[in-house]
Amino acid sequence: MMHKGFHWRKALHYLILFVVCGIFFFPFIWMLLGSLKSSTEVMDPNCFFPSVWRFSNYVEAWNYAPFDVFFKNSIIQSVLIVVFQIAIATLAGFAFAKLDFKLKKPLFMVFLATMMIPSEATIITNYLTITRLGLMDTTLAVILPSLVSVFGIFLLRQNFMMIPNALLESARMDGAGDFRIFVSICLPIVKSAVATLSIIGFIGAWNSYLWPMIVTNSLSMKNVQTGMRHVMGMDESLKPWHLLMAAANMLIVPVVALFLSMQRYYVEGIAKVGIK
Amino acid sequence: MNYRSRRAFAREAKGLAFVLPALLFLVVFYIYPMCFAVRTSFFSWNMTSAMKFVGLRNYKRFFSNNNTVSALWTTFKYVLYILPSSLVIGFLLALLVYKPGKANTLARTLVFIPHIASIVASCAIWTFLMNPQYGILNKMLNLIGIPSVRWLNDVKTALLSVSFVTVWRQVGYNMIIFIGAIQNVQGEILEAARIDGASHFQIVRRMIIPLVIPTAFMLMILNTIAVFKMFTVIESLTEGGPAGSTTNLVYLIQQTAFNDYSLGYAFTMSVVLFLIILLVNIFQMSLEKKVNYDA
């Protein structure tokens, strides 16, 4: 009796899970199906499955706009942003955790305060700065304001603080300088925090839209987000939805794959923000 | 003495050297721009003309102009529509899947994916789903006897539709954070309660809810700020329309600066945005201690 009730509960749990996941994931399923339909089938809401699975839609979508250029730009921008974010955040995080200097506290307060400045309120000035530097429509323009991640600095600082001071003292006794200690002792210990920052930084950079939109205008400088937005506006009257769905899928899959492979680090990172 | 101060100086220089790259970027791309925005908000300026000091005129204009007041109002309406639903649904989903197990883990991942999927691509999908003629959403509504809705094209539904897509993107994030909080509570305490014969509902009401309140509070702040800063979803779904009904402050800042080129005025809006977010932050800091102690 008891046993049977237990199973019913489990079945109900699975049923609810199935419905919830179905609702949340339905847009992606509809995208996937749409991306494999013909141009007429995709416009017919009564047609659920394509009569022929047209994988050639993906080739056609790839050639519908210069997606090779968009992807190249996105990859270059995101990788550069992540590399700089890690370099800058590990240096600053280490200083705030392990070095002793008078300006440490006031500077840390300044860093904390900048977290309250919304980047949306700084875009106009940054646009003027980029124009004045003659960098409009360049990769540098896209990446410059994102090279420092205050979140990353705090994350790394937290992790550096967990390293016992005795370890650093003994290295100092052996005559190692602070930079040596930083590179060869501390950095290897905070590997997982670096992984966390890189996955969060990469996804953030890959999905950023407002700033790249403002500082790039030529088609050859667009990344996947601004490029996709451009593609969405191309045929105003009759949109080739089967190609647009294929393109949407091409944008989503790489990031989801990356996320799945580093899910643990990503979730660790956002949980840190959460639980503090 | 000299040796000592020189050593102190070297220590200071070393610390600064490590922090310098970060500081440099923060000053150039955050601190200076914010100061410049505050200063310029008191000037009339459209890039080609010389800056002219106008005192509070931009601010007076801000609060008397229909466009800005309605964008400000819309900004708050987004919070009203998005915040409660994304928190409540996030919490309920967390209760559903916080226990370990393959099915729960898979469900967590599936619900979280909208949060990391490209916003522009996701909005392309939603534009397609919400198309009044050939969208599947209307087809589903028709099946259960509800007439078609013009989702993003109707002043009455556009704001709700944009909010809906944002909730879809945000719920997974809230769920993950809530799961972390519940798992902190969990373990022996819950086990003990269960042995004492507490029902599932009692456990949730008496133990889980009180203990995740600090987390819920923090999520409330994070979500509010995120909603205040919404841009891409609006730009991709409605471009602020129809009839400006989905235009929030960030969208209007961008329009005023890069379409109308009235920079002084756009800076004024940026400062208002900054002040609103600052208020939320101050609110958080003043309540944080209290909530943490209560919990």
Per domain, the residue ranges of chain B are 2-36, 52-294
Task: Name the closest residue on chain B to residue A10, using Cα atoms.
Answer: B103
- Testing the interface with A: which of B18, B99, B164 to mutate, by most A Cβ within 10 A? B18
Structure tokens at A190: 């905070």
Domain containing A131 — which CATH number?
Answer: 1.10.3720.10
Together in a domain, A103 and A162: yes
pLDDT at B253: 94
Reported as a pLDDT band with limits 50, 70 and 90, residue A1 is very low
Strand partners, B44: B52
Task: Name the closest residue on chain B to residue A33, using Cα atoms.
Answer: B125
Together in a domain, A78 and A185: yes
Task: Give the DSSP letter of residue B145.
Answer: T
Reported as a pLDDT band with limits 50, 70 and 90, residue B71 is very high
Tell me the chain B residues in contact with residue A118 when contact means C-beta distances shorter than 8 Å. Answer: 225, 228-229, 273-274, 277
Together in a domain, A140 and A227: yes
In this structure, the dihedral spanned by the alpha carbons of residues B127, B132, B136 and B138, taken in order and rounded to 10 degrees, is: 130
Count of the separate structural domains present in chain A: 2
How far, rounded to the nearest angstrom, does the alpha carbon of residue A139 sit from its chain's CA centroid?
17
The average pLDDT across B86-93 equals 96
Q: How far apart are CA B247 and CA B253, in angstroms?
A: 10
Residue A265 within a domain: no
The H or E element containing residue B43 is: strand B43-44
- For A271, which of B23, B171, B180 is closest by C-beta distance? B180
pLDDT at A66: 94
Residues B228/B221, Cβ–Cβ less than 8 Å: no
Write the pLDDT tens digit of every residue in A108-150: 999 988 988 998 899 999 999 999 999 999 999 999 999 999 9
Residues A263/A117, Cβ–Cβ less than 8 Å: no
Which residue did the predictor score with more confidence, A88 or B181? A88
Q: How far apart are CA A33 and CA A49, in angstroms?
A: 6
Q: What number of other Cβ atoms are within 10 A of residue A276's Cβ?
A: 12
Rounded to 5 degrees, φ, ψ at A30 are -65, -35
- Testing the interface with B: which of A18, A24, A234 to mutate, by most B Cβ within 10 A? A24
Reported as a pLDDT band with limits 50, 70 and 90, residue B2 is low
Tell me the chain A residues in contact with residue B14 when contact means C-beta distances shorter than 8 Å. Answer: 99, 101, 178
Residue A34 within a domain: yes
pLDDT beyond 90 at B167: yes
- Picking from A37, A58, A79, the residue at the C-terminal end of a domain is A58
pLDDT at A275: 42
B43-69 burial, b at 16+ Cβ within 10 Å, e below that, comes to bbbeeeeeeeebeebbbebbeeeeebe
Residue A249 within a domain: no
Share of chain B above pLDDT 70, in %: 94
The average pLDDT across B174-183 equals 90
- Rg of chain B over Cα atoms, rounded to whole angstroms, equals 24
Fold annotation for B52-294: MetI-like fold (1.10.3720)
Q: How far apart are CA A93 and CA B125, in angstroms?
A: 40
pLDDT at A2: 47
Tell me the chain A residues in contact with residue B125 when contact means C-beta distances shorter than 8 Å. Answer: 27-28, 30-31, 245, 248
Of B23, B19, B12, B11, the C-alpha closest to A93 is B19
In this structure, the dihedral spanned by the alpha carbons of residues B124, B130, B135 and B139, taken in order and rounded to 10 degrees, is: 150
Q: What number of other Cβ atoms are within 10 A of residue A260's Cβ?
A: 12
Residue A40 lies in domain: 2-58
Cα of B255 to nearest chain A Cα, Å: 11
- For A20, which of B107, B117, B231 is closest by C-beta distance? B107
Together in a domain, A28 and A70: no
Together in a domain, A100 and A44: no
Cα of A193 to nearest chain B Cα, Å: 18
The 3-state secondary structure of B49-91, one letter per residue: CCCEECCCHHHHHHHHCHHHHHHHHHHHHHHHHHHHHHHHHHH
Query: What is the number of alpha carbons within 13 Å of residue B212 lying toward its C-beta?
Result: 30
Q: How far apart are CA B212 and CA B178, in angstroms?
A: 7
Tell me the chain A residues in contact with residue B135 when contact means C-beta distances shorter than 8 Å. Answer: 45
Which residue did the predictor score with more confidence, B293 or B232? B232
Q: Do A259 and B116 touch (CB under 8 A)?
A: yes
Together in a domain, A37 and A173: no
Q: How far apart are CA B221 and CA A113, in angstroms?
A: 16
Q: How far apart are CA A130 and CA A214, in angstroms?
A: 11
Residue A186 within a domain: yes
Q: How far apart are CA B249 and CA B166, in angstroms?
A: 16
Residue A253 within a domain: no
Lowest mean pLDDT among A233-242, B71-80, B134-143, B189-198: B189-198
Residue A241 within a domain: no
Does the beta carbon of A58 lie under 8 angstroms from any beta carbon of chain B?
Answer: no
Backbone dihedral region of A239: left (phi > 0), alpha (psi from -120 to 50 degrees) or beta? Answer: beta
Average pLDDT, chain A: 90
Write the pLDDT tens digit of every residue in B266-282: 999 999 999 999 999 88
Share of chain B above pLDDT 90, in %: 61
Q: How far apart are CA B37 and CA B271, in angstroms?
A: 7
Could you give the 3-state DSSP secondary structure of residue B214?
helix
Strand partners, B53: B43
Residue A113 within a domain: yes
Average pLDDT, chain B: 89
Together in a domain, A192 and A170: yes
| pTM reported for the whole predicted model | 0.91
Lowest mean pLDDT among A222-226, B34-38, B98-102, B116-120: B98-102
- Picking from A58, A74, A104, the residue at the C-terminal end of a domain is A58
Q: How far apart are CA A31 and CA A34, in angstroms?
A: 5
pLDDT at B188: 63
Structure tokens at A33: 């199906």
Together in a domain, A83 and A173: yes
Q: Do A121 and B110 touch (CB under 8 A)?
A: no
